[in-house]
Amino acid sequence: MSWAVIHWFELGTLALLCLNLWFVSSVLGTLRDTNRWLAFLARIRWDEGTLEPPNAGGDIPPQ
């Protein structure tokens, strides 16, 4: 069963690959959350910029 021998550098390579995949997934998750927050904050700022006071058109409400 000499073909089943696993060397330390192969285990190290697998460990580094797993760490790399974990790091990439965490970075992508952080970027996704950042993108959501930026879209949310931009939408709020856009809504604040387009709001008008109730009597902005000059119409006087009937009494």
Highest mean pLDDT among 11-15, 41-45, 55-59: 11-15
- Long-range CB contacts for residues 25-30, cutoff 8 Å, separation at least 24: none
Residue 17: its pLDDT value, please? 98
Q: Which two tokens stand for residue 40?
A: 């949310």
Torsion from C-alpha of 11, 13, 14, 19, nearest 10 degrees: 120
Q: Which residue has the tokens 């997934």?
A: 25
Residue 30 φ then ψ, to 5°: -65, -40
Mean pLDDT over the full length of the chain:
80
Report d(CA 17, CA 22) in Å as an integer: 9
With bands split at pLDDT 50, 70 and 90, how would you rate the model's confidence at 53? low
What pLDDT digit, counting tens, does each position of 21-49 carry?
Answer: 999 999 999 999 999 999 888 888 766 66
Q: Which two tokens stand for residue 11?
A: 């285990």
pTM value surpassing 0.85: no
